[in-house]
């Protein structure tokens, strides 16, 4: 029986019975026996599906490396949550942890390579790491950049972050120390991914896909750049106190020390009531007596003031800030403003004490590929040689015009670059384009063997571009994410669903796991 005949028989099975066909048991047995193996061949259908959520806006969803656990970020009535489910015959909820408030989207999450942790990033500038077993928060790292994408490297000792302002950052694990950064893009970094060999792939709304090598830094770092805003005569930027609490900091060389508000001190774990030493701090209304917290750590990205004393004084800090970086700290730095990027540049002066800039890694651009359309999402095959890329002629940005069009049920035309594509990461060549969506294609998943794409769009459709193409339109609103499991056996989908305030609150599917059906498939070990 030739391959085409096999496909036709499989389709007949789908049309003629109520139960889904199955990937042959012998194939699944071989997959289970393989060492970190994955299925190869062309899928013929989306099989049995397990709906994990049908009442929320789900932003991202991923499967654990062993494909036995699903994690997704969801917007509940009062806050964002991280939901973790075991995928037994009847999926069970492991944890449903509150992440943050409504105003900060949890755009991306990712399992660690060993499946024991889940990293999330959000537009409040926070990287958070949770235990996959319990949902307990294990660590957090804060920056001034709104974060929209995240990835672990294969060794599990580095995390890459993509920001809404084009910045790519590397953070070490488990210490969560800033180790490198590069403002590589001019728009949102919608996806980041590491190849098994350690290269970093990034994709952005600026229509570029970039490939970086990650190496050890050989030159001691002396400079840090951080985004600033100017408001009411103040220069404001973000910093972290005691590696625990993020704050907006004002720059003021007239102030004799670092000053923090009491709420920030308490958020960093300082017992303000237990402080006994005081110091007078000059203000516009005369001297204020402030309590002193000794031996603290203030970090501006990878610039660290170690073992510094800070004054705790609410009246001494301007209303638009939570802290002030004063004269003694600034005397150890040269400062300059880069108006083109709205950044302040801090450079260590010679002979500084208690101030350091850490930088153990470097990001070096190896290859850059330009496309006619925005890159909304990308994923990699098992070898890290082919990317599945979601392209759109308009970037996947939820604007008023988009909402108005959806309310009117306006159907967008099929356009050439509203598509999924297989892209060769060595040359940037588009190996294959897959159409079928109308309007924005928000997400693309590539199978581990690099041969098959699954895509999701704002036309409420999930497409598995196998033979034949499978379509699921059982979604009430835009598709946010699709991803194959590491072994290729499952596909997970995240979608926004119209929220139902009545009775059980049940609505359309929002987090779904499918069995991917193969009729003739091989098994390959990594």
- Give residue limits of the domains in the chain: 3-220+361-525, 223-357
Q: Is the CB of residue 92 less than 8 Å from the CB of residue 83?
A: no
Q: Is the CB of residue 440 less than 8 Å from the CB of residue 461?
A: no
Could you tell me which residues come within 8 angstroms of residue 134 by beta carbon, excluding any fewer than 6 positions away?
Answer: 94, 95
Question: What is the CATH class of 3-220+361-525?
Answer: mainly beta
Q: Is the CB of residue 87 less than 8 Å from the CB of residue 68?
A: yes
Q: Is the CB of residue 509 less than 8 Å from the CB of residue 515?
A: no
Q: Is the CB of residue 133 less than 8 Å from the CB of residue 114?
A: no
Burial class (CB in 10 A: 0-12, 13-18, 19+), 62: buried
Q: Is the CB of residue 296 less than 8 Å from the CB of residue 222?
A: no
Side-chain-facing half-sphere of 400: CA atoms under 13 Å: 0
Which strand (E) or helix (H) includes residue 43?
strand 43-53
Rounded Cα distance, 53 and 50, in Å: 9
Could you tell me which residues come within 8 angstroms of residue 395 by beta carbon, excluding any fewer than 6 positions away?
Answer: 187, 188, 205, 374, 376, 440
Q: Is 341 helix (H, G, I), strand (E, B) or coil?
A: coil
Could you tell me which residues come within 8 angstroms of residue 398 by beta carbon, excluding any fewer than 6 positions away?
Answer: none
Cα-only R_g, the chain: 25
| Per-residue confidence (pLDDT) for residue 13, from 0 to 100 | 39
Matching CATH topology for 3-220+361-525 and 223-357? no
Which strand (E) or helix (H) includes residue 191?
strand 189-194
In degrees, rounded to 5, the angle at the alpha carbon of residue 382 between the alpha carbons of residues 379 and 383 is 105
3-state secondary structure 196-225: CCCCEEEEECCCEEEEEEEEECCCCCCEEE
- Count Cβ atoms below 10 Å from residue 482 Cβ, excluding itself: 30
Closest CA to 203 of 414, 62, 377: 377
CA distances (Å), 78 to each of 74, 81, 102, 312, 482, in order? 11, 10, 6, 32, 26
Rounded Cα distance, 77 and 135, in Å: 19
Q: Is the CB of residue 11 less than 8 Å from the CB of residue 468?
A: yes
Q: Is the CB of residue 13 less than 8 Å from the CB of residue 21?
A: yes
Q: In what order do the strands lie in the sheet with 167-172?
A: 147-152, 158-163, 167-172, 178-183
Sign (positive/negative) of CA torsion 91, 95, 100, 101? positive
> In this structure, what are the phi and psi dihedrals at residue 187, rounded to the nearest 5 degrees?
-150, -175
Could you tell me which residues come within 8 angstroms of residue 414 by beta carbon, excluding any fewer than 6 positions away?
Answer: 435, 436, 437, 438
User: Could you tell me the fold of the domain covering 223-357?
Assistant: Cathepsin D, subunit A; domain 1 (2.40.70)
Closest CA to 290 of 263, 256, 313: 313
Mean pLDDT by 10 residues, the chain (526 residues): 30 44 85 92 92 96 97 93 92 92 89 98 94 94 90 97 96 88 95 98 98 84 86 90 86 90 94 94 83 93 89 93 90 89 88 82 95 98 98 90 83 91 98 96 97 96 94 93 97 92 86 92 91
75 strand-pairing partners: 57, 80
Q: Is the CB of residue 462 less than 8 Å from the CB of residue 471?
A: yes
| Per-residue confidence (pLDDT) for residue 478, from 0 to 100 | 94
Q: Is 453 helix (H, G, I), strand (E, B) or coil?
A: strand
Rounded Cα distance, 310 and 324, in Å: 10
Rounded Cα distance, 85 and 511, in Å: 11
CA distances (Å), 71 to each of 57, 60, 84, 138, 169, in order? 14, 8, 4, 16, 23
Q: Is the CB of residue 151 less than 8 Å from the CB of residue 111?
A: no
């Amino acid at each position: 029986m030739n391959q085409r005949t096999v496909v036709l028989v499989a389709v007949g099975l789908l049309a003629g019975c109520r139960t889904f066909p199955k990937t042959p048991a012998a194939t699944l047995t071989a997959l289970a026996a393989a060492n970190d193996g994955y299925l190869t061949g062309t899928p013929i259908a989306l099989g049995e599906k397990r709906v994990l959520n049908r009442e929320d806006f789900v932003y991202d969803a991923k499967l654990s490396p062993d494909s036995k656990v699903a994690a997704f970020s969801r917007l509940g009535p009062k806050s964002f949550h991280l939901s973790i489910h075991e995928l037994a015959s009847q999926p069970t909820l492991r944890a449903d942890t509150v992440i943050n408030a409504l105003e900060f989207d949890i755009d991306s999450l990712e399992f660690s390579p060993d499946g024991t942790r889940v990293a999330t990033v959000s537009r409040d500038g926070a990287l958070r790491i949770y235990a996959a077993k319990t949902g307990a928060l294990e660590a957090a790292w804060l920056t001034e950049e709104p974060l929209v994408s995240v990835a672990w490297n294969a060794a599990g000792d580095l995390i890459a972050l993509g920001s809404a302002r084009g910045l790519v950052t590397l953070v070490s694990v488990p210490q969560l120390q800033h180790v490198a950064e590069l403002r590589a893009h001019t728009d949102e970094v919608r996806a980041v991914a590491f190849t098994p060999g350690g290269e970093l792939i990034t994709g952005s709304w600026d229509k570029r896909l970039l490939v970086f090598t990650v190496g050890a830094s050989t030159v001691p770092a002396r400079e840090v750049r951080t985004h600033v805003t100017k408001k009411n005569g103040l220069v404001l930027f973000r910093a972290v106190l005691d590696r625990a609490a993020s704050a907006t900091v004002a720059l003021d060389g007239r102030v004799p020390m670092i000053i923090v508000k009491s709420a920030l001190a308490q958020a960093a774990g300082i017992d303000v009531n237990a402080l006994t030493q005081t110091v007078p701090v000059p203000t516009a209304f005369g001297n204020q007596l402030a309590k002193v917290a000794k031996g603290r750590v203030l970090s501006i990205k990878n610039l660290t003031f170690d073992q510094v004393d800070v004054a705790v004084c609410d009246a001494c800090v301007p209303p638009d800030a939570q802290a002030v970086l004063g004269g003694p700290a600034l005397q150890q730095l040269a400062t300059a403003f880069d108006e083109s990027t709205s950044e302040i540049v801090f450079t260590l002066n010679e002979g500084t004490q208690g101030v350091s800039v850490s930088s153990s890694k470097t990001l070096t651009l190896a290859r850059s590929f330009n496309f006619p359309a925005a890159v909304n999402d990308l994923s990699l095959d098992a070898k890290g040689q082919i990317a599945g890329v979601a392209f759109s002629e308009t970037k996947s940005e939820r604007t008023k015009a988009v909402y108005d069009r959806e309310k009117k049920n306006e159907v967008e035309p099929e356009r050439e670059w509203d598509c999924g594509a297989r892209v060769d990461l060595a040359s940037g060549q588009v190996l294959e384009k897959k159409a079928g969506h109308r309007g924005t294609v928000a997400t693309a998943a590539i199978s581990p063997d690099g041969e098959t794409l699954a895509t999701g769009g704002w036309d409420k459709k999930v497409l598995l571009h196998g033979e034949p193409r499978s379509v699921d339109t059982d979604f009430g609103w835009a598709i946010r994410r699709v991803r194959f499991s590491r072994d290729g056996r499952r596909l997970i989908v995240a979608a926004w669903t119209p929220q139902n305030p009545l009775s059980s609150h049940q609505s359309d599917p929002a987090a779904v796991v499918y069995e991917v059906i193969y009729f003739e498939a091989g098994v390959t070990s990594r």
